[in-house]
A and B are shown apart, each in its own frame.
Chain A
Amino acid sequence: MTDKRSDERRKLVSLADALFDDLIAASDEDILNEVAEAGGDATEISDHMRAKFEETVIQARKERMKAAKAGRKAVQTTPVVADVVDLSVARRALKKALKHEGLSMAARNETESDLTDEEVVRKYNDLIRLGVIDPDKDKN
């Protein structure tokens, strides 16, 4: 891009800036008369512009849809990091918790040795959620 071209562009933008306010301030009637005097058809121009607007709206909706899909996909593909539980820690914590006086009779009647590994992990996690087991405390 030459200096001349750039300078010329700057001048033309300056000209447009100087005419901008007049164009915005002109009455609707003047605007429509001007275009008619110049041989233009206001309805045709407006229809063309409206069509461009519709295109833009549709394109924007497509973009939003695409972005939403991409967002959902990102959430779905986020690897689920399972809590890794040391089974011996879970059994020990569960045994201790099952002796806890605040637990229901049914809960206390169960002993951790009757439970499968899977049940131990499930109950261990349940009791963490209930606040009975403090995993940080029971780890040590």
Chain B
Amino acid sequence: MNDMEPAAVLTRDDLEESIAAFSNADWVRLRSVSQLYAIYPVEPDELVQEALCRAIAGSRKCPRTVSVVRFIAEAIRSIAHDELQKVENQRDEVSVHDETIENLDAITPKEPGPTTEERMISNEQNRGTENRLLELFDGDDEAQLIVLGMLTGTEGAELQEVTGLDQTGFNSKRRYVRRKINSAIENGFIL
């Protein structure tokens, strides 16, 4: 994206101006995106601020053809994916450490690991996040199937088929799931 023609992307001033003109709905939308991607211990505010920071610093360029709200939302998504990657890299290092490497001093973790206290909080926080999510939809089998499918990366036609819903019904149910989750987070539910 950085190789795009300068005229094809917004300048920093354009971008700042566009963001400064965001409506309440734009900000609420971005907050909702950040809430979905803010998985403990990451806070929604941190994700939004990091995304804004990258946009303003110019490390991410916004094509003129893309809405700035979507651009910031995509940045939030990208940061969340980076975080996931970091966590997975840490896991890889730990498993190599445990199983095959004899010289422990040779291992240099990319980031300091969580303290015992942080680990305990994290484990407690995340014990059964999946179950807690499903509990939000108690008695609604279709919604629970959709949540389960999304958690495991099953999407689109395949997921629709599993639920037995037609396209309209499926879209409507998926929207309901999203609203319910956002609403739960608004009321203190932590992912």
Do they bind each other? yes
Contact B73–A24 (Cβ < 8 Å): yes
Question: Which residues from 85 to 104 on chain A have a C-beta closer than 8 Å to any C-beta of chain B?
Answer: none
CB distance from A59 to the nearest CB of B (A): 7
Contact B16–A12 (Cβ < 8 Å): no
Question: Which residues from 57 to 97 on chain B have a C-beta closer than 8 Å to any C-beta of chain A?
Answer: 57, 69-70, 73, 77, 80-81, 84, 87-88, 90-91, 94-95
- The SS class assigned to the B binding surface is helix
- Name the residue in A6, A28, A29, A53 with the highest tally of chain B Cβ atoms < 10 Å from its Cβ: A53
**C-alpha gap A28/B24 in the complex (Å):** 9
A81 is an interface residue with CB less than 8 A from chain B: no
Decide yes or no: A59 and B122 within 8 Å by CB, A10-B88, A31-B29 being known contacts. Answer: no
Decide yes or no: A42 and B150 within 8 Å by CB, A17-B77, A19-B181 being known contacts. Answer: no
Q: How large is the interface on B (under 10, 10 to 19, 20 to 34, 35 or more residues)?
A: 35 or more
Decide yes or no: A56 and B52 within 8 Å by CB, A13-B39, A49-B30 being known contacts. Answer: yes
The one of B24, B25, B33, B183 in contact with A20, judged by C-beta atoms closer than 8 angstroms, is B33
The one of A42, A49, A59 in contact with B48, judged by C-beta atoms closer than 8 angstroms, is A49
Contact A10–B77 (Cβ < 8 Å): no
B160 is an interface residue with CB less than 8 A from chain A: no
- Name the residue in A10, A15, A28 with the highest tally of chain B Cβ atoms < 10 Å from its Cβ: A15
Interface size, chain A (Cβ < 8 Å):
46
Q: Which residue of A lies closest to B70 (CB)?
A: A24
A11 is an interface residue with CB less than 8 A from chain B: yes
**C-alpha gap A121/B147 in the complex (Å):** 83
CB distance from A67 to the nearest CB of B (A): 10
A111 is an interface residue with CB less than 8 A from chain B: no
Contact B48–A14 (Cβ < 8 Å): no
Question: Which residues from 129 to 182 on chain B have a C-beta closer than 8 Å to any C-beta of chain A?
Answer: 129-130, 133, 147, 149-153, 155, 174-175, 177-179, 181-182
Query: Which of A33-41, A71-79, A122-130, A131-139 sits within the interface?
Result: A33-41
Which residues of chain A come closer than 8 Å to B32, judged between CB atoms? 23, 31, 34-35
Which residues of chain A come closer than 8 Å to B94, judged between CB atoms? 1
**C-alpha gap A52/B108 in the complex (Å):** 35
